[in-house]
Amino acid sequence: MKKLSLFALLFSVTSFVFGQFNTSSVSSDGVGNSATVGQTGLSNDSEIIQDGQMHVLGGVGNSATVNQFGSFNEASIGSFGNGNSADIFQDGWGNMASQTQGVGWAEDNVASAEQYGVFNSSTQSQYYDNNTAEVYQVGLWNSATQYQSTMSNGAMGSYASAIQVGEGNISDQSQFGQMNAAYVTQGEFYNTATQVQTGNSNSATIWQNDLSLGGYNVASQSQVGDDNVAIIDQGLFYAYGNLASQSQIGNENHAFAIQKGAFNESYQYQEGDLNISETSQDGLGNGSGTAQFGVENEAYTSQIGIGNGSGVLQIGASNFSDTMQMGDSNLSATLQFGIGHSNTTSQTGAGNTALVVQVGP
- In tens, the pLDDT along 244-253 reads 999 999 999 9
Q: Are residues 41 and 118 in the same domain?
A: no
Reported as a single tens digit per residue, the pLDDT across 296-318 is 999 999 999 999 999 999 999 99
Q: Are residues 252 and 123 in the same domain?
A: yes
pLDDT score recorded for residue 1: 36
Distance in angstroms between the alpha carbons of the first and the last residue of the chain: 69
Residues of the chain with pLDDT under 70: 1-20, 28-33, 52-61, 81-82, 103-106
Output the 3-class SS for the chain: CCCCCHHHHHHCEEEEEEEECCEEEEEEEEECCEEEEEEEEECCEEEEEEECCCCCCCEECCEEEEEEEEECCEEEEEECCECCEEEEEEEEECCEEEEEECCCCCCCCEEEEEEEEECCEEEEEEECCCCEEEEEEEEECCEEEEEEECCCCCCCCCEEEEEEEEECCEEEEEEEEECCEEEEEEEEECCEEEEEEEEECCEEEEEECCCEEEECCEEEEEEEEECCEEEEEEEEEEEECCEEEEEEEEECCEEEEEEEEECCEEEEEEEEECCEEEEEEEEECCEEEEEEEEECCEEEEEEEEECCEEEEEEEEECCEEEEEEEEECCEEEEEEEEECCEEEEEEEEECCEEEEEEECC
pLDDT score recorded for residue 33: 67
What domain range is 45 assigned to?
A: 14-106
Whether residue 358 lies inside any domain: the answer is yes
Q: Are residues 240 and 137 in the same domain?
A: yes
pLDDT score recorded for residue 77: 84
Phi/psi at 175 (nearest 5 deg)? Answer: -135, 130
Q: Are residues 123 and 89 in the same domain?
A: no
Q: Are residues 115 and 210 in the same domain?
A: yes
Pairwise CA distance, residues 244 & 58, whole Å = 46
Q: Are residues 164 and 251 in the same domain?
A: yes
Q: Are residues 77 and 140 in the same domain?
A: no
Domain boundary, last residue among 60, 81, 106:
106
Whether residue 301 lies inside any domain: the answer is no
Q: Are residues 190 and 96 in the same domain?
A: no
Contacts of 262 (CB under 8 A, 6+ apart): 214, 238, 239, 240, 241, 242, 284, 285
Pairwise CA distance, residues 238 & 284, whole Å = 11
Burial of residue 337 (CB within 10 Å: 0-12, 13-18, 19+) is middle
Whether residue 299 lies inside any domain: the answer is no
pLDDT score recorded for residue 62: 73
Q: Are residues 192 and 132 in the same domain?
A: yes
User: How many structural domains comprise the chain?
Assistant: 3
Whether residue 342 lies inside any domain: the answer is yes
Whether residue 350 lies inside any domain: the answer is yes
Whether residue 224 lies inside any domain: the answer is yes
Pairwise CA distance, residues 290 & 309, whole Å = 11
pLDDT score recorded for residue 132: 94
What are the residues facing 136 on neighbouring strands? Answer: 114, 163
Q: Are residues 133 and 170 in the same domain?
A: yes
Q: Are residues 255 and 116 in the same domain?
A: yes
Q: pTM of the predicted model, to two decimals?
A: 0.89
Q: Are residues 84 and 172 in the same domain?
A: no
